[in-house]
């Protein structure tokens, strides 16, 4: 019904040569492992995108993506990269709304909605991240926070446009901390997200949207997380930098 996606987010790691060699390993190890409705996405720094997209050619279930793009189409924005420039590398996905961008770079809902629009216009599928801080979880505000992030970032889209969105629930307190949301905690939020989509669009759109979990996901905890009814894969940070760990996570769907 909906695609199972394991996406790697390399963040600001790996020089050019290290990135090419990691991606080559990943392609060789996963090419016979991904089948049916499974999909693997590697979101690298911009410098690797064209080369790894070339390496992914001929592997229809392996795609590449950026980790950001700018909220304007082109022009005098020194140092920024547009969605159309990302598309020109051969990449087909872009992570938007990651908490590291929200927190360190002050990206808010309005800016993110502009990025989402431009990404879609350029033919990219946004992997749109939502998630609460520890304080917001402990004060029971997490449903409200996630609803607001969805409303500001993606719920302005039409039914048709929304079908190109992948969502990722990444609790901020679980990112890079070794603390993972329990399968029950994650499932509770994933079900909430799916209900919000159904309420805003309809059940068919909700049932066909892939919602990934991210936050200290590794080969040990991925099987329990991915077996939850509303978890459709993972957005993997640290463990995506080791080919063996990343491929173990990809293989969870074959077990």
Among 154, 235, 247, 252, the residue binding ligand 13P under the rule CB under 6 A is 235
25 labelled catalytic: no
Q: Alpha helix locations (H) across the chain?
A: 16-30, 49-56, 83-88, 99-104, 109-121, 134-138, 142-153, 159-162, 183-200, 203-208, 222-226, 243-251
Give the x/- contact pattern for ligand 13P in 172-211, rule: CB under 6 A. Answer: ---xx-----------------------------------
**Least distance to ligand 13P from the beta carbon of 110, Å?**
22
Check residue 250 for interaction with ligand 13P (CB under 6 A): no
3-state secondary structure at position 21? helix
The single residue of 98, 136, 190, 248 carrying the catalytic annotation is 98
Quick note: the x/- pattern for ligand 13P over 54-93, rule CB under 6 A, is ----------------------------------------
In the annotation, is 33 catalytic?
A: no
Contact call for residue 236 and ligand 13P (CB under 6 A): yes
Nearest Cα residue to 7 out of 104, 102, 91, 114? 91
Among residues 222, 238, 248, 250, which is the contact residue for ligand 13P, using CB under 6 A?
Answer: 238
Closest to ligand 13P by CB, 65 vs 215, is 215
215 is a contact residue toward ligand 13P (CB under 6 A): yes
Do 215 and 174 form a contact (C-beta atoms < 8 A)?
yes
How many amino acids of this chain bind ligand 13P (CB under 6 A)? 14
**CA-to-CA distance for 51 and 47, rounded, in angstroms?**
8
DSSP result, 79-126: T---HHHHHHTT--EEEES-HHHHHHS---HHHHHHHHHHHHHTT-EE
C-alpha 148/C-alpha 109 separation (Å) is 8
CB 127 within 8 A of CB 159: no
| 31/183 with CB nearer ligand 13P | 183
From the list 87, 216, 221, 243, which residue makes contact with ligand 13P (rule: CB under 6 A)?
Answer: 216
**CA 233, CA 91: separation in Å to the nearest integer?**
20
**Pick 201 or 225: Cβ nearer ligand 13P:** 225
Q: Which residues are catalytic?
A: 98, 170
- Chain positions contacting ligand 13P, by CB under 6 A: 9, 98, 170, 175-176, 214-217, 235-239
């Amino acid at each position: 019904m909906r695609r199972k996606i394991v996406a790697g987010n390399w963040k600001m790691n790996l020089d050019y040569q290290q990135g090419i060699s990691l991606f080559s390993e990943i392609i060789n190890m996963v090419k016979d492992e991904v089948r049916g409705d499974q999909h693997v996405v590697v979101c690298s720094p911009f410098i690797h995108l064209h080369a790894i997209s070339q390496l992914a050619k001929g592997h229809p279930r392996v795609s590449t993506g950026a980790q950001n793009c700018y909220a304007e189409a082109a022009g005098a924005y020194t140092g920024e990269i547009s969605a159309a420039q990302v598309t020109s590398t051969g990449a087909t996905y872009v992570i938007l709304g990651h908490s590291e961008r929200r927190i360190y770079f002050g990206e808010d809902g309005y800016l993110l909605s502009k990025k989402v629009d431009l990404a879609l216009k350029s033919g990219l599928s946004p992997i749109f991240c939502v998630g609460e801080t520890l304080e917001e979880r402990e004060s029971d505000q997490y449903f409200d926070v996630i609803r607001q992030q969805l409303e500001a970032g993606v719920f302005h889209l039409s039914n048709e446009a929304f079908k190109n969105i992948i969502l990722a629930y990444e609790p901020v307190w679980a990112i890079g901390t070794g603390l993972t949301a329990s399968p029950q905690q994650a499932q509770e939020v994933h079900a909430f997200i799916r209900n919000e989509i159904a309420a805003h669009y309809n059940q068919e759109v909700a049932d066909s949207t892939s919602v990934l979990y991210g936050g200290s996901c590794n080969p040990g905890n991925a099987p329990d997380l991915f077996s939850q009814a509303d978890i459709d894969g993972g957005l993997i940070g640290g463990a995506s930098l080791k080919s063996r760990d990343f491929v173990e996570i990809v293989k969870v769907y074959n077990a």
